[in-house]
Amino acid sequence: MPFGSPLVPRTSKGDFMHMIKLPMNIAVMVIGGMDYSNCSAIPKLTTFMITFGVMNSLVGLISFWFNIPDDMKEKEAIKKASESNAHILNALSLFQLAFLGVAIWGFSQVAPYIGDFPAGPDGCESGVFLCGFISSAIPTAIVAFMVFYGLVLLVKKSLGMEVALPWEEAPATAVENKDGANAV
């Protein structure tokens, strides 16, 4: 399917994976909006929930509208195809980075109350706390894992070890023996 053609019918599983998060995002926005003043212990939690839901929904809708693949190799090929494609992908990347910043901000709001999990602190409804906690903890944990993985790769590279990123071709490890067959 061509990149950036919103009127092309969606047929693959990957096309709809961008939209699978939409019901969860709407639920987060609704809970944050309906219970806007029901969390006096964490006053900015409901603001985070609404912002998180809007930003995550927009990322999914933009990815669906412009038919942006999840595969890094395909994204790089799309960037090389035209300058306008590169601008759209770069704008989406900046938007996703801002989304991660919002998620980390939300986690900074709920982190002092982790000990009160799952009921939440006094003055905050448990549903609001749980929704805010889960929607901020998952992206924050993913970012923490990515930073840890990046540090591991950096240490491996500094020690002179061969490092292959997941979206790059793995280096060939086969060695030919005397018969011309590959041996590992």
Q: Which residue has the higher pLDDT, 88 or 16?
A: 88
Average pLDDT (31-40) is: 76
Task: Report pLDDT digits (tens) over 163-184.
Answer: 776 656 655 555 555 555 555 5
Closest-CA residue to 92 (of 137, 146, 56, 138)? 56
Q: Which of 19-23, 45-49, 135-139 has the lowest mean pLDDT?
A: 19-23
Question: pLDDT value at position 141?
Answer: 92
Spell out the long-range contacts of 50-55 with Cβ–Cβ below 8 A and sequence spacing 24 or more. 51/102, 52/25, 52/28, 52/99, 52/102, 52/103, 52/106, 52/135, 52/136, 53/25, 53/26, 53/27, 53/28, 53/29, 53/135, 54/25, 54/29, 55/95, 55/98, 55/99, 55/102
pLDDT bin (cut points 50, 70, 90) of residue 1 is very low
Cross-strand pairs, 39? 124
Give the pTM: 0.68
pLDDT bin (cut points 50, 70, 90) of residue 145 is very high
Question: pLDDT value at position 7?
Answer: 47
Question: pLDDT value at position 169?
Answer: 64
Instruction: Report the C-alpha gap between 110 and 34 in whole angstroms.
Output: 19
Task: Report pLDDT digits (tens) over 105-127.
Answer: 989 988 888 887 777 788 778 78
Task: Report pLDDT digits (tens) over 61-110.
Answer: 877 777 777 666 777 777 777 777 778 888 888 888 888 888 899 899 88
The vertex-74 CA angle with 169 and 88, nearest 5°, equals: 135
CA distances from 178 to 78, 107, 173, 175, 184 (A): 43, 59, 16, 10, 13
Domain locations in the chain as residue ranges: 13-183
3-state secondary structure of 39: strand
**Mean pLDDT, the chain, as a whole number?**
77
